[in-house]
């Protein structure tokens, strides 16, 4: 009688890092030649558990060094209370549990929540990482998703038709300390949307289809827009994590040499203790140079590789790219090309980052930032402000968006000259920057128009900083108009609606005399005049 294993094969699909373009991991997919064993596994937890073990062993036979993703149904975990056979198989294969991510798959309906969470806690205790799979196309409630606290959330590509939903999920992932991945990416358009919406990882036919042999390379489109956080904090290091080549700290120099010579893309090896904590770092070039020296092989081959290594450089998984550069800057220049180990809260290695990836990303962010600055005031344009508006909307935060400009600016330029007009604009920009604190963002969108995004409680100091000042250009007194729309959570779906709410308020402010300020509320009729008069000063006197 034929066993189900006789007709079952496995395929490998790369999980791609969208910032580095490298392969971050391999997902192992069951490919039965006949029948629907996955439907059977959904109903039979024991079978599903055996499938997970078989998937791991299939990957081990391919001798891949990449981290692995193994699928398992939520019901299986709740029913079995964990996967001890999988843990045993990982150890037998010489791999570390934290090199394996369990993609927890729906359905979740009727799965006992307490039993599932207890099983996941046990798996985490063994060292496995957890991914919530099928989000957006499955039945995972948001409350359960946050209770799972996964290290990775995998979204269905169908959500790319709703970029706001993807951006909102990125915000949630940041709060949970998770990465965001998109599955099923098939077109370059989907790739561009995934990156622009903040996804850090992706997989799909566009990059590489599932194949019997692990992919050595993937297709990554060029020129698609990337998303980096504000340069003040720097992009988080987790976005640049590459798989680490790990060996036990007891490994011999000969074992390290065999790994390096068989894997030309590996730049170094981390020697870790039984818990996965980096103990020594072996740099490829320095190690092979020592081994190739006269008598080098005879001297070192059977000795511990740790003697040819250095103390590892490590950063936490929540560090920023700038913090990594600070770590690299400490020590000798001969180690500037060393990989930096990224460790979790327990000190276990989750991967490495390469200096070249960080420098490239930081340089690109600076170039993009500079390209978007107004040459007169050196302030960012509207894109930077509207992008931050969308992030605050996704966060469910209240905010105030203000539009400031100079009254009859063309007359000011014509009467005082463009040089005096330019100096006035520069001074306004500097005044706004001086008043900006905390989360306030100031943008110069052209001519005499400024956008300011701030917390509602920051409005009065902002208004005072520019409306209480006697402005002039070339000796000619000028006045300013300020329009503000207050946006409570849920009142505007995106920055376009917030900007549209400003337009009538600006018109109302311009109709007033003297320094003026008009404030409205998104979704509510009317407005409040906080500064200015509808009666000319001469008539009032």
- 443-474 pLDDT tens trace: 888 888 999 999 998 899 889 989 998 999 98
Mean pLDDT, rounded, for 55-74: 89
pLDDT at residue 228, rounded to an integer:
37
Mean pLDDT, rounded, for 161-167: 89
Q: How confident is the model at residue 381 (pLDDT cuts 50, 70, 90)?
A: confident
Q: How confident is the model at residue 327 (pLDDT cuts 50, 70, 90)?
A: confident
Phi first, then psi: what are they for 48, rounded to 5°?
-60, -40
pLDDT at residue 101, rounded to an integer:
95
pLDDT at residue 230, rounded to an integer:
38
pLDDT at residue 333, rounded to an integer:
65
Count Cβ atoms below 10 Å from residue 80 Cβ, excluding itself: 17
Assess whether pLDDT exceeds 70 at residue 438: no
User: Whole-angstrom Cα distance, residue 50 to residue 253?
Assistant: 36
Mean pLDDT, rounded, for 402-428: 89
Length of the chain: 541
CA distances from 479 to 57, 66, 144, 404 (A): 74, 63, 55, 11
Q: How confident is the model at residue 224 (pLDDT cuts 50, 70, 90)?
A: very low
**Which is higher by pLDDT, 295 or 432?**
432
Q: How confident is the model at residue 38 (pLDDT cuts 50, 70, 90)?
A: confident
Q: Residue 115 class from Cβ within 10 Å (0-12 exposed, 13-18 middle, 19+ buried)?
A: middle
Spatial contact of 283 and 256, defined as CB atoms under 8 Å apart: no
User: Whole-angstrom Cα distance, residue 499 to residue 402?
Assistant: 9
pLDDT at residue 52, rounded to an integer:
94
pLDDT at residue 535, rounded to an integer:
57
**Which is higher by pLDDT, 19 or 180?**
180
Mean pLDDT, rounded, for 218-235: 55
Q: How confident is the model at residue 479 (pLDDT cuts 50, 70, 90)?
A: very high
pTM here?
A: 0.58
Q: How confident is the model at residue 64 (pLDDT cuts 50, 70, 90)?
A: confident
pLDDT at residue 454, rounded to an integer:
92
Q: How confident is the model at residue 220 (pLDDT cuts 50, 70, 90)?
A: confident
Q: Could you write out the DSSP letters of every residue in 276-287?
A: --EEEEEEHHHH
**Which is higher by pLDDT, 121 or 375?**
121
Q: How confident is the model at residue 229 (pLDDT cuts 50, 70, 90)?
A: very low
Assess whether pLDDT exceeds 50 at residue 433: yes
H or E segment to which residue 495 belongs = helix 495-510
Return the closest-CA partner of residue 165 out of 495, 494, 500.
494
Assess whether pLDDT exceeds 50 at residue 84: yes
CA distances from 208 to 188, 413, 482 (A): 13, 58, 53
pLDDT at residue 227, rounded to an integer:
38
Q: How confident is the model at residue 69 (pLDDT cuts 50, 70, 90)?
A: very high
Give the mean pLDDT of the chain. 86
How far separated are the first and last CA of the chain, in Å rounded?
Answer: 105
pLDDT at residue 505, rounded to an integer:
95
H or E segment to which residue 424 belongs = helix 418-435
pLDDT at residue 131, rounded to an integer:
97
Assess whether pLDDT exceeds 70 at residue 246: yes
Out of 78-92, 125-139, 310-324, 506-520, which region has the weakest mean confidence (pLDDT)?
310-324
């Amino acid at each position: 009688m034929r066993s189900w294993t006789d007709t079952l094969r496995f395929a490998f699909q790369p999980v791609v890092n969208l910032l580095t373009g490298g392969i971050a991991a391999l997902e192992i997919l069951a490919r039965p030649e006949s029948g629907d064993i996955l439907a059977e596994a959904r109903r039979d937890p024991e079978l599903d558990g055996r499938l997970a073990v078989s998937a791991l062993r299939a990957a081990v036979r391919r001798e891949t060094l990449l981290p692995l993703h193994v699928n398992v149904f939520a019901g299986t975990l709740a029913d079995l209370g964990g996967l001890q056979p999988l843990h045993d198989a990982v150890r037998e294969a010489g791999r570390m549990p934290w090199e394996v991510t369990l993609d927890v798959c729906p359905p979740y309906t009727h799965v006992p929540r307490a039993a599932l969470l207890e099983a996941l806690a046990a798996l985490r205790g063994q060292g496995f990482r957890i991914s919530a799979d099928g989000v957006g196309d499955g039945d995972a409630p948001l409350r359960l998703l946050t209770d799972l606290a996964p290290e990775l959330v995998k979204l269905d590509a169908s959500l790319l038709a709703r970029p706001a939903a993807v951006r909102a999920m990125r915000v949630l992932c940041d709060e949970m300390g998770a990465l965001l991945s998109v599955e099923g990416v098939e077109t370059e358009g989907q790739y561009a949307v995934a990156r622009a919406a903040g996804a850090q990882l992706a997989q799909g036919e566009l990059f590489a289809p599932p194949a019997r042999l692990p992919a050595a390379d993937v297709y990554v489109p060029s020129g698609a827009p990337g998303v980096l956080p504000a340069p003040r904090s720097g992009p988080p290091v987790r976005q640049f994590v590459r798989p680490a080549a790990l060996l036990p700290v007891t490994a011999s120099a000969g074992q390290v040499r065999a790994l390096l010579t068989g894997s030309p893309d590996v730049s170094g090896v981390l020697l870790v203790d039984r818990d996965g904590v980096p103990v020594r770092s072996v740099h490829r070039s320095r190690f092979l140079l020592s081994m190739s020296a006269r008598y080098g092989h005879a001297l070192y081959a059977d000795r511990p590789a740790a003697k040819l290594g250095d103390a590892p450089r490590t950063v936490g998984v929540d560090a920023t790219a700038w913090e990594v550069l600070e770590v690299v800057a400490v020590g000798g220049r001969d180690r500037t090309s060393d990989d930096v180990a990224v460790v979790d809260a327990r000190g276990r290695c989750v991967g490495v980052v390469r200096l070249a990836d960080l420098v490239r990303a930081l340089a690109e962010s600076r170039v993009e930032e500079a390209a978007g600055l107004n040459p007169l005031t050196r302030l960012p344009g509207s894109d930077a402000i509207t992008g931050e508006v969308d992030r605050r909307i996704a966060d469910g935060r209240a905010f105030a968006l203000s539009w400031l400009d100079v009254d009859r600016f063309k007359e000011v330029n014509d009467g005082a000259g463009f040089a005096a007009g330019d100096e006035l604009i520069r001074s306004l920009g500097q005044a706004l920057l001086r008043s900006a604190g905390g989360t306030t963002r100031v943008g110069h969108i052209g001519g005499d128009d400024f956008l300011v995004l701030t917390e509602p409680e920051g409005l009065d100091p902002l208004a005072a900083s520019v409306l209480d000042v006697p402005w002039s250009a070339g000796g000619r007194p000028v006045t300013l108009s300020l329009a503000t729309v207050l946006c409570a959570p849920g009142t505007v779906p995106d920055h376009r609606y917030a900007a549209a709410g400003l337009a009538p308020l600006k018109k109302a402010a311009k109709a007033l005399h003297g320094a003026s300020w008009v404030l409205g509320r998104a979704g509510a009729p009317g407005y409040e005049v906080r500064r200015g008069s509808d009666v000319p000063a001469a008539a009032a006197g």
